[in-house]
Amino acid sequence: MSYNVNEKGYYGKFGGAFIPEMLYPNVEELRQNYLKVMAEPEFQKEFNQLLKDYVGRPSPLYFTKRLSEKYNTKIYLKREDLNHTGAHKINNTIGQILMAKRLGKNRIIAETGAGQHGVATATVCALMGLECIVYMGEIDIARQAPNVARMKMLGATVVPATSGSKTLKDATNEAIRDWINNPIDTHYIIGSVVGPHPYPDMVARFQAIISEEIKWQLQEHEGTTKPDYVVACVGGGSNAAGAYYHFLDDEDVQLIAVEAAGLGVDSGESAATSVLGREGIIHGSKTLLMQTNDGQITEPYSISAGLDYPGVGPMHAHLYKSGRAEFISITDDDAMTAGLELCKLEGIIPAIESSHALAIFEKKQFQPNDIVVVSLSGRGDKDLETYIKHFKL
Ligand SMILES: *Cc1c(COP(=O)(O)O)cnc(C)c1O
């Protein structure tokens, strides 16, 4: 079985491009060009140069001494938290801004929920001097004020989405509407491995730098390119896709996907998409999503804004259904405890998204010789308020 995308844009039965006719020319232009553009030596050179000098790659693969001792196994952290802007999202926005330039686009639009993808997009637009419009739900604008300020400082226009639940899915609808109205000069930078083909594949390829580095870094540390486990949290699934990418077809390497259980999988306040989701179409892709009996998307919940997405990318839907990856869901409380533990044992304050991945060590027993690589997708600065409230610091 193959776990990567096929020529038609499918992962097993998931994926595809279910889009309104008026969006077809835009998506088709991208589909016909993305692989060609990415293969150009000039593109590769510019992409890799920016990853090195601007993002600060390679990000370290760090062996945790005290955390490993505590859980009696070998735990490595892939330090995406050390990237410029504090998470893995910049890998993708750098790639897509270069793609946009190659396709002759000078206007960039994006959707954002918590604002992290909006900030990563506004950052690369400033870098390249391109106009940037970020759609964001009115409710999210109110609860994510620091990221709204960051986007404005970086020169972006933040447009409130005032329809529906006034959150991420409504912002995405507004961005799609904008793209339909501006097909010639505009590129839509999607922030995860979601959306119509070719987005999930394109974003996974840009994030694949994560597993490319893990291989040679692990060779240096352990004399092997293969970990026993790769662990990552999953919102839409892009840091996981990047961390898994070069191990997908290597079944010796076990993949663990960690979803947000919120207040508990059965509490009605959760974002555990694969467990709770059913097949459906969201944002142009056939995948698993949380929905009511009549097919309306249900509002997800997680203490971590970045995992608060009602769907999951088609690659992950396939990894779940095929059993290639093990899916574990972690509650708010367990994630917060694991986040604080990393602070105390290693001196690293993780993003709450990444804390979900760290929480699996309380749930699952590993062997002393197992090499477990955890994608530390982001740093916790943005989450300080939440940590303060939770632990009454
Ligand atoms: C956005 C975000 C995530 C979730 O997005 P994926 O596409 O699933 O990777 C995870 N961690 C951090 C730090 C984020 O900012």
pLDDT tens-place string over residues 152-209? 999 999 999 999 888 898 999 999 999 999 999 999 999 999 999 999 999 999 999 9
Helices (H) and strands (E) in the chain, counts: 16, 14
pLDDT tens-place string over residues 68-119: 999 999 999 999 999 999 999 999 999 999 999 999 999 999 999 989 999 9
Cross-strand bridge partners of residue 247: none
Please list, in sequence order, all residues whose beta carbon lies within 8 angstroms of the beta carbon of residue 263, skipping any fewer than 6 positions away: 269, 270, 301, 331, 332
Residue nearest to atom 2 of ligand 1 (CA): 306
**Which residue spans within 303-370 are E strands per DSSP?**
325-331
- Residue 92 sits at the vertex; the CA angle it makes with 331 and 121, to the nearest 5 degrees, is 90
Q: Distance (Å, rounded) from C-alpha 262 to C-alpha 260? A: 5
Q: List the single range of 134-138, 206-210, 296-300, 382-386 with lowest mean pLDDT.
A: 296-300
Q: Are 357 and 50 in contact (CB under 8 A)?
A: no
What pLDDT does residue 360 have? 98
Cis omega (within 30 of 0) on the bond before 58?
Answer: yes
Q: How many angstroms separate the Cα of 71 from the Cα of each of 66, 219, 365, 368, 370?
A: 9, 23, 8, 8, 11
Full-prediction pTM beyond 0.85? Answer: yes
| Closest approach atom of ligand 1 to CA 86 | 13
- Which of 68, 274, 375, 377 is catalytic? The answer is 377
Q: Which residues line ligand 1 (CB under 6 A)?
A: 87, 89, 116, 192, 233-239, 306-307, 351, 353-354, 377-378
- Which of 80, 111, 213, 259 is catalytic? The answer is 111
Q: Measured in angstroms, how far is the CA atom of residue 192 from the centroid of ligand 1?
A: 8
Average pLDDT over residues 208-215: 98
Residue nearest to atom 7 of ligand 1 (CA): 238
| Closest approach atom of ligand 1 to CA 353 | 11
Average pLDDT over residues 313-339: 98
Domains and CATH numbers, the chain: 11-50+89-203 (3.40.50.1100), 56-87+208-391 (3.40.50.1100)
- Which of 89, 166, 169, 382 is catalytic? The answer is 89
Tell me whether residue 223 is exposed, middle or buried, using C-beta atoms within 10 angstroms of its C-beta: 0 to 12, 13 to 18, 19 or more.
exposed
pLDDT above 90 for 295: no
Q: Are 114 and 306 in contact (CB under 8 A)?
A: yes
Residue nearest to atom 10 of ligand 1 (CA): 353
- Edge-to-edge strands of the sheet including 131-137? 157-161, 131-137, 107-112, 186-189
Residue nearest to atom 3 of ligand 1 (CA): 306
Q: Distance (Å, rounded) from C-alpha 304 to C-alpha 306? A: 5
Structure token digits, residue 192: 């995860």
Q: Measured in angstroms, how far is the CA atom of residue 21 from the centroid of ligand 1?
A: 30
The enclosing H or E element of 98 equals helix 89-102
Q: Measured in angstroms, how far is the CA atom of residue 212 from the centroid of ligand 1?
A: 19
| Closest approach atom of ligand 1 to CA 238 | 7
Is 377 among the catalytic positions?
A: yes
Q: How many angstroms separate the Cα of 44 from the Cα of each of 62, 83, 98, 286, 393?
A: 26, 19, 10, 30, 46
Residue nearest to atom 5 of ligand 1 (CA): 235
